[in-house]
Amino acid sequence: MFRALCFFCLAVGFVLLDGSSTEAKTNETHETHLRCDSNNPKRGVRMGVIADNSSRVGREQIVAIQMASKHYRFLNSCHSVELLLVTSPDNSAHATAAAFDPTTNKEVEAMFGTLTREEVSSIFELHKASMNIAIMSLRSASLVPPQTNPIQTSSFIQMGNDITHQLQCIAAIVGKFQWQRVTALYEQRNNDFTTNLAILKLLSDSLRDANSEIENHIAFSLSDPKLLIEEKLMNLSSNSNRVFILVQSSMELATLLFKKATKLNMMTNGYVWIVADEMANLLDSLDSSVFHNLQGVIGCKINYGERRRSFKKFKTQFRRDYLSEFPEEEGQGEPSIFALRAYDAYWAIASTMDKLQGNEWAQKVVESKFEGVSGVVSFKNGILSQLPIFQIINVVGKSYREIAYWSPEFGFCDKLPQQTRAGNVTIDSWGLVVWPGNGRRVPRGWDFRYGKKVLKLGVPTTATFLDMVHVNYNHTDGAPPHIAGYSISVFKAVAHNLPYFLPYELVPYNGTYDSLMQKVEKKEFDGAIGDFGIVAHRLQYVEFSEPYLENAVVMIVKEKPLEWTQLWLFMKAFNAQMWLIMLSMHIFVSSVIWLIEREHNDALRGFGNMLWFSVSVLFYAHGEPIKSGLARLVLGPWLFAILIITSSFTASLSSMMTITMSKPPVYDIESLKLKNATVGCTQNSIVMRFLSQASIPPENVKQLPSVDLFPIALETGEIQAALLTAPHARIFLAKYCKGLTKLTLFNLVGMGFAFPKGSPLTLDISLSIAELIERREMPDFEATLLSTFNCSNHKSLDGGSGLGPGPFAGLFLFSGVIASIAVLFTATHLALMKLRWIQNPFSTKNPFSAKNPFSTKTHFPNWFAFKHSSSSILQPMK
Percent residues over pLDDT 90 in the chain: 24
Q: Which residue has the higher pLDDT, 598 or 464?
A: 464
Q: Which residue has the higher pLDDT, 779 or 856?
A: 779
Quick one: average pLDDT of 870-875? 40
Q: What is the pLDDT of residue 699?
A: 85
Q: What is the pLDDT of residue 21?
A: 30
Q: How many of the other CB atoms lie within 10 Å of CB of 478?
A: 5
- Distance (Å, whole) CA 279 – CA 299: 8
Q: What is the pLDDT of residue 310?
A: 86
Q: What is the pLDDT of residue 154?
A: 57
Q: Which residue has the higher pLDDT, 601 or 171?
A: 171
Nearest to 76 by CA among 44, 33, 111, 118: 33
Q: How confident is the model at residue 436 (pLDDT cuts 50, 70, 90)?
A: very high
Tens-digit pLDDT profile for residues 780-800:
887 766 655 555 444 444 444
Sign for the pseudo-dihedral over CA of 819, 822, 828, 830: negative
Q: How confident is the model at residue 667 (pLDDT cuts 50, 70, 90)?
A: low
Residue 595 pLDDT exceeds 60 = yes
- Distance (Å, whole) CA 405 – CA 303: 9
Q: Which residue has the higher pLDDT, 138 or 356?
A: 138
Q: Which residue has the higher pLDDT, 579 or 204?
A: 204
Tens-digit pLDDT profile for residues 188-202:
876 566 778 889 999
Identify whether the C-beta of residue 759 lies closer than 8 Å to the C-beta of residue 213. Answer: no
Residue 292 pLDDT exceeds 80 = yes
Tens-digit pLDDT profile for residues 668-727:
777 777 778 888 888 878 888 888 777 788 888 888 888 888 888 888 888 888 888 889
Nearest to 181 by CA among 435, 443, 445: 445
- 296-300, 533-537, 583-587, range with the lowest pLDDT: 583-587
Tens-digit pLDDT profile for residues 223-246:
888 899 999 999 998 888 899 999
Quick one: average pLDDT of 624-637? 71
Identify whether the C-beta of residue 246 lies closer than 8 Å to the C-beta of residue 257. Answer: yes
For the ranges 267-281, 576-590, 621-635, 678-692, the one whose mean pLDDT is highest: 267-281
Residue 863 pLDDT exceeds 60 = no
Q: What is the pLDDT of residue 287?
A: 83
Q: Which residue has the higher pLDDT, 286 or 865?
A: 286
Q: What is the pLDDT of residue 866?
A: 37
- Give the contacts of 561 (CB within 8 A, at least 6 positions apart): 661, 662, 663
Q: What is the pLDDT of residue 6?
A: 45
Helices (H), 27-115: 56-73, 93-103
Task: Please give the order of strands across the beta sheet that includes 43-51.
Answer: 79-87, 43-51, 110-113, 134-137, 156-158, 383-384, 375-380, 369-372
Q: What is the pLDDT of residue 795?
A: 44
- Distance (Å, whole) CA 529 – CA 459: 5
Tens-digit pLDDT profile for residues 100-123:
333 344 577 788 887 777 777 776
Identify whether the C-beta of residue 199 lies closer than 8 Å to the C-beta of residue 247. Answer: yes
Tens-digit pLDDT profile for residues 473-530:
875 666 788 899 999 999 999 999 988 888 899 999 999 999 999 999 998 999 999 9
Residue 868 pLDDT exceeds 50 = no
Share the mean pLDDT of the chain. Answer: 77
Q: How confident is the model at residue 874 (pLDDT cuts 50, 70, 90)?
A: very low
Q: How confident is the model at residue 14 (pLDDT cuts 50, 70, 90)?
A: very low
* Rg (the chain; Cα; Å): 48
Residue 772 pLDDT exceeds 70 = yes
Q: What is the pLDDT of residue 634?
A: 73
Residue 847 DSSP label:
T
Q: What is the pLDDT of residue 858?
A: 40
Residue 300 pLDDT exceeds 90 = yes
- Distance (Å, whole) CA 309 – CA 332: 21
Percent residues over pLDDT 70 in the chain: 72
- Partnered with residue 372 across adjacent β-strands are 375
Q: How confident is the model at residue 413 (pLDDT cuts 50, 70, 90)?
A: confident
Q: What is the pLDDT of residue 80?
A: 78
For helices 56-73 and 337-355, what crossing angle results, to 10°?
A: 40
Q: What is the pLDDT of residue 843?
A: 56
Residue 161 pLDDT exceeds 60 = yes
- Distance (Å, whole) CA 183 – CA 212: 11
Give me the amino acid identity at 479.
A
